[in-house]
Structure 1
Amino acid sequence: MSDTIDLLLSRRSVPPFALHEPGPTEDQIRTLLTIASRVPDHGKLAPWRFILVQGDDRAALADRLAEIALADPSADAQRIAEDKKRFATPLIVIVVSRAAAHVKIPEWEQVLSAGAVCMNLITAAHSLGFAANWLTGRAAYDPSAAPALGLVEGERVAGFIHIGTPEAPMPDRPRPPLEEIVTRWSAP
């Protein structure tokens, strides 16, 4: 097999708590974001953008999102405390979808483009020797968190991509057998 195929077959999601320093350098981040942005983008709309969270800002964002979540009387304080820990990874890239109505390009295609950005980003991280995890969570769906994240009207979080160095190789998880997920269409 080719190096590319081997790379794709070896990619694993690594939980954020298992991602540590070193994280990507500034040059590597530029490479990651360049690769992430090379996705199908009908109409050349760039219906996504990136927000980088690093250094002390990771804990500050985690604290702010926890405050917002705890304002909900039904919030689970223990779960929120656990969620805060995932913001300790060396680099968090918030992929923001800015899909919107367009005269030619369906909004759904724009959303899919943002998803492709997330996948390219985690694959690129793997190719550079890092590991990554694509998460959403409460903050991605809570409208009251949008201003704290730096989102503007019409934007949504496609994913929080956590990137760092894994503390150990991750075992693969079970994958669905192809015979369970593949059908072939045929003319009647």
Structure 2
Amino acid sequence: MQALDLLLTRSSFSKLIAPAPSGEQLDKILQAGLRAPDHAHLSPYEIIVCEGEGLTKLTSILVESAIQSNYPEAKIEKAKTMVYRAPMVIVTIMRFKEHEKVPRVEQVATVGCATQNMQMAAQAMGFNGIWRTGSFATDSNVRKSFGLDEQDEIIGFLYLGTPESEPPIKRDRDPQKLVTYWR
């Protein structure tokens, strides 16, 4: 798939089945993530690939956090199954690195770009996925389970797998309504 075609037809898809990327494919996806713009080469990311028992470990973190946070029973039950919506979940975390020229917001953007790059690389290889955040990304108990410092942030949970069916293409947005030109 050509890069421009990929970007112009990109569409997240949540109906994912096995197989997930593996081996050389997964290596390329991770390398694509690590090619994200990274001012001063700080590498402010931690990337955790969860599959198999890793999904069970991630589920345990979410369920325990939901219980500790006194979430409603429905949310606790959802936490027990949500990561199994795909055969792989990649957790992307921004680990803040103090630097006089690279503010926190730029480091967040770096990890956001890394997450997007991985999703696009997966899609270019015939996989698909969906980038989710939700309340668990900011939950204090989840943050503690991942050993996050105050300035660190979970950027997303990138669900990856094989699309169960042909993903629909999102409608185009009208640039005339969203873009201003200063000429």
TM-score of the superposition, structure 1-length normalised? Answer: 0.87
Match in the other structure for 1:36? 33
- Segments of 4+ in structure 1 off by > 4 A? none
Query: Following the alignment from structure 2 to structure 1, what is the Cα–Cα distance between the partners of residues 75 and 166?
Result: 26
TM-score, with length taken from structure 2? 0.89
- State the secondary structure of the residue aligned to 2:119: helix
Specify the alignment match of 2:58 in structure 1.
Answer: 61
Pair 103,37 (structure 1): closer, same or farther in 2 beyond 3 Å: same
The residue identity in structure 1 corresponding to 2:32 is I
Q: 1:151 aligns with which of 130, 144, 147?
A: 147
Question: For structure 1, which segment, 98-107 or 162-171, has the greater mean C-alpha deviation from structure 2 after superposition?
Answer: 98-107
1:97-116 equivalent positions in 2, closer than 5 A: 97-116=94-113
CA distance in 2 between counterparts of 1:72 and 1:160 reads 20
Deviation at 1:95, TM superposition (A): 0.8
Question: Which residue pairs with 1:121 in the alignment?
Answer: 118
* Structure 1 SS opposite 2:155: strand
Count, aligned residues: 181
Deviations 1:17-63 (A, max 9, x none): x1110111122111111011101111010111211111022133213
2:170 — aligned with what? 173
- Residues 115-124 or 24-33, more deviating: 24-33
Deviations 1:53-93 (A, max 9, x none): 110221332133122112333x2322343344331111111
Q: 1:179 to 1:35 in 2, by over 3 A?
A: same
The answer for the alignment partner of 2:157 in structure 1 is 160
For the aligned residues, what is the CA RMSD?
1.8
Contact kept? 2:88, 2:161, Cα under 8 Å? yes
* Residue segments in structure 2 that go unaligned for 5+ positions in a row: none
CA, structure 1 residues 77+114, in 2 after alignment: closer, same or farther (shift >3 Å)?
same
| Alpha-carbon distance between aligned partners in 2 of 1:139 and 1:118, rounded to the nearest angstrom | 17
Identity, % of aligned positions: 30
Q: Counterparts of 2:18 and 2:110 in 1: how far apart (Å)? A: 30
CA distance in structure 1 between the partners assigned to 2:44 and 2:152 by the alignment: 9
> Are residues 1:79 and 2:75 paired?
yes
8 A contact 2:50–2:89 mirrored in 1:
yes
> Which of 63, 67, 92 pairs up with 2:89?
92
Could you tell me which runs of 5 or more consecutive residues in structure 1 were left unpaired when the two chains were aligned: none
Cα distance change on mapping 1:76 and 1:52 into 2, 3 Å: same
In structure 2, what is the equivalent of residue 8 of structure 1? 7
Q: CA contact under 8 A between 2:62 and 2:79: conserved in structure 1?
A: no
CA distance in 2, matches of 1:168, 1:185: 43
- Aligned counterpart, 1:48: 45
Q: By how many angstroms is 1:128 displaced?
A: 1.0
- Corresponding residue to 2:135 among 134, 138, 162: 138
